[in-house]
Amino acid sequence: MASGRILVVDDEPDIRTTVKEILEDEGYQVALAASAAAAREARTQSRPDVILLDIWMPETDGISLLREWAQAGALTTPVIMMSGHGTVETAVEATRLGAYDFVEKPISLAKLLLTIDRAREASRLKRENEGLREQLALPLEPIGASKAMVALRAQLDKLAQHDTSILIQGEAGTGKESLARWLHARSQRQGGPFVAVAAGGIPREHLAAALFGSEDANGVQPGLIEQANGGTLFLDEVAELDAELQQRLSSVLERRALVRAGGAGSVALDLRVVAATAQNLEAQVKAGAFREELYYLINVVPLAVPPLRRRGEDVPELLRTFADFFAHRDKLPYRVFPVAVQNRLRNHDWPGNVRELRNLVQRLLIMGNGDEVTIEEVEAALGKGVVAPPRPVAADSPAAAIDFNLPLREAREQFERAYLLRQLQDAGGSVGKLAKMVGMERTHLYRKLRDLGVDVKSSGKEE
């Protein structure tokens, strides 16, 4: 039995009713519109998976409506045109504007259902292709035969059969997003979108619109939450949301509907929420820094990810996996990690967890010579050569100005600014070097610096 949302736009009542009954018998949810104006409204409210659009309608015809959506950049849903007396020129024009296909009236039931299936599959593949590069950049998790990883995989397999909200807790770099993707790929929502939201990577002034969307006279801009409809919404480091956004998100998840900024009606939501954090949310709730109702909405099932230092026996397999991965993806020369090197790395503390190990393997494949990785290379890459003693904090240093009487969130922002200013100074003003030093992607780092009021340009060095 099929599932999904179809919008049928046709000015003939008999056609609308017949198509609606056929599609509902196949398991689809069907919305109807008798005109272009009604279609605009229904499309805004229901976010259909496929639109069946009649060409000949009074006032605004289907081709004009299709052109309107295409020019506004809002043609994100497959559109199948319908006509009882279409021409080749009309079909060509509809295809040029972005229509997926063209069916003639009287409508053949078999052809209509087949065309809808193909349109939905094409839309799904398009979403997958758009996210392919991002997915390939992620760690290949969950990897390891340790008891901790065996237990974690068993939990994920069990949770994949249910649709409940999950809170993944673990240190930075433990691969929480990869686990969420792995869970999504094994769930009943695997055919739907996987939308990752990194709250800390979006400028605060744009975060509300990015999450909840907006609409005005120029059209509708679906937010990230709405884009996850039918699939999985991954909220990375959910603790980064401020109190107002926490309250709005809590309301959205409770009601399973959202109202876009500037919107008149609500949009129904059908999605799974997987949140992640490296912070102790329970302690933040007790301290009043995180809303209690949101905590219980996202923490239906908690999932703890162990740090790499507690599963050192998985390091050899991770080394081999990432060496294969980068050799295949980046065409780097494959290098072997001898037993002595594996043992050395098994005993490393891995403060950056799997992300640190992945970066280390990539660096050793790029910079090293020979078929085998040496202990000397590893020590140099880990910075275990001559270690400079930590510099004392000067009285005029930004780190010396932290006010410990501030609330947690404000104190954290003050610390982050002082920390990044100090590291930027050590990096000689280079944001590229700073990104490597602090373990952040450069795009996210630029946003973080801007949010904290750090003027990168004044350093005179942004490479």
Taking only the tens of pLDDT, the chain with its 463 residues reads 456 889 999 999 998 999 999 999 888 989 999 999 899 888 877 778 899 999 888 888 888 998 888 877 667 789 999 887 666 677 778 888 888 888 888 888 888 898 998 888 888 767 666 555 445 544 446 889 999 999 999 999 999 999 999 999 999 999 999 999 999 988 989 888 999 998 777 777 788 888 998 887 766 788 899 989 889 999 999 998 999 999 999 999 999 999 888 887 888 899 999 999 999 999 999 999 999 999 999 999 999 999 999 999 999 999 999 999 888 888 899 999 999 999 999 999 999 999 999 999 999 999 888 899 999 999 999 985 433 344 444 544 444 455 566 666 667 777 888 888 888 877 777 777 787 777 776 766 777 787 777 776 555 455 5
- Burial of 330: CB neighbours in 10 Å, binned 0-12, 13-18, 19+: exposed
Question: Measured between alpha carbons, how far is 317 from 422 in angstroms, rounded to an integer?
Answer: 36
Q: Are 49 and 80 in contact (CB under 8 A)?
A: no
pLDDT of residue 127: 66
Q: Are 192 and 231 in contact (CB under 8 A)?
A: yes
pLDDT of residue 118: 86
Q: How far is CA 259 from the centre of its chain?
A: 21
Question: Measured between alpha carbons, how far is 225 from 235 in angstroms, rounded to an integer?
Answer: 10
Question: Measured between alpha carbons, how far is 402 from 266 in angstroms, rounded to an integer?
Answer: 43
**Comparing 5-130 with 152-304, is the CATH topology the same?**
yes
CATH no., domain 5-130: 3.40.50.2300
All structural domains of the chain with their residue ranges = 5-130, 152-304, 308-381, 398-459
Question: Measured between alpha carbons, how far is 211 from 234 in angstroms, rounded to an integer?
Answer: 12
Question: Measured between alpha carbons, how far is 174 from 181 in angstroms, rounded to an integer?
Answer: 14
pLDDT of residue 53: 92
Q: Are 98 and 70 in contact (CB under 8 A)?
A: yes
- Indicate the Cα dihedral angle 184, 190, 195, 196, nearest 10°: 20
Q: Which three-class secondary structure state does DSSP give residue 11?
A: coil
> Which fold does the domain 308-381 belong to in CATH?
Helicase, Ruva Protein; domain 3 (1.10.8)
pLDDT of residue 142: 86
- Report angle CA 338, 170, 205 to the nearest 5 degrees: 120
CATH of 398-459, one of 1.10.10.60, 3.90.1150.10, 1.10.10.10, 3.30.565.10: 1.10.10.60
pLDDT of residue 41: 84
Q: How far is CA 458 from CA 124, 418, 420, 455, in A?
A: 45, 16, 14, 6
Question: Measured between alpha carbons, how far is 447 from 456 in angstroms, rounded to an integer?
Answer: 11
CATH no., domain 152-304: 3.40.50.300
pLDDT of residue 406: 60
pLDDT of residue 246: 94
